[in-house]
Structure 1
Amino acid sequence: MNIDKSETPQPANYKPKVKVDPNHGLWDFFYAKDKLMLTPDESAEHGRGWTVEELRHKSWDDLHKLWWVCVKEQNRLSTARKERRRLKLAEGGSQGGERWDEVRKTMKSIRHVLTERWYLWEDARTLAETDPEIDLSNVRRPFVPKDYLEAHESALEGDKQDQPAEQAPSGFMAEESRVTRPEDIEPSIPSPGSPETPQSSIKG
């Protein structure tokens, strides 16, 4: 068909408006919202991993936070590696691999320190079970010093010595119950409740 270019239909310039949450958690898979990955020079700028000796001085909360920082960094490095493969970029892979190795060293050191603390805790718990000053079943006060125990025991012994000796009970309750035995009864005297002796058997 012979038509002028001005008469050719043009595609509609339609761009759907998609609402995106700027604070969505998936943005943490990238180093920046407007940057999918780091450049090779930026990826090479990283420090070394934490050593076991350094992490031994950290608290449980610090180790917990550092572990999840490493997990977050691993997710970012994995995302950048996927993007490089998708875009077929040759540069940046070796720098990202070095950064990955340092993150893994830190995570291994954290696990090493936590394993040491677990064994130390088990040894302390086993030792506490044989310590007379420690009662693990008492949640409110598991530790009682030895001098406190000795003072408490001596106070109890002093209270026992101050108490008067027990006296034998007197009165009605002190009388022993009298039990009539067969040998205590004379044969010539009839026992209560027995039939009276016949008159014929009594000699006058």
Structure 2
Amino acid sequence: MARPRTFDEQTVLDAAVRQFRAGGYAGTSLDDISAATGLGRGSLYASFGDKHTVFIKALTEYVRQALVDTRAMLDGPDDSAIDRLHTWIVSGAGFVLDDDEHFGCMAGKFAVEVAETDQEAKALILGVFSQQQQILLDCVTAAQRHGDLAADANGCALACMILALNRGMDVMAKGGVARAALDAAAEQAFRGLPLTAAYRDRPARA
């Protein structure tokens, strides 16, 4: 009879995510994963597979949580949709700089490192970007319904632009660009959206 597992799979996955975010794919060995998770190589291999299998499972877990976080930031009623978009845009630099380890987006990191050579990882990365864009589109559409964004604006293009801006902020923050400059750019980007006169003339919200 198989021996029962003596570890929590979620804890192991979280540790693997952290290790890959810190070291990258090429810079992470099975021994590194073993040390990070506390599992011996034999137990790690028996339960999760080789390094690439662990990586895909870790990336899948990161994607799952990233989508949970994205929905938490952007889902909600129409009357506050524009505020949620504003928060999303100005959070780009903070996602890196408010993290003590400055990891940034795992999907963005591996889009650069492995997407050209690892089709399984590429599919996961494209999937999370596509789903985040859809969540942004839903929020943009809600802001249009409420009259805060121009009804004739291309929502798909706006959602893609906002996501691209967020990912770019992540990269620039990791590259050492000053937070003040990034925050100012984010505010400028928000003001550059097709905000309606009704929104612009509205008293500042508390």
Tell me if both proteins adopt one fold, taking TM over 0.5 as the criterion.
no
Higher-helix-fraction structure: 2
User: TM-score when scaled to structure 1?
Assistant: 0.32
Greater Rg over alpha carbons, structure: 1
Greater relative contact order (CA < 8 Å, ≥ 6 in sequence): 2
Relative to the length of structure 2, the TM-score reads 0.32
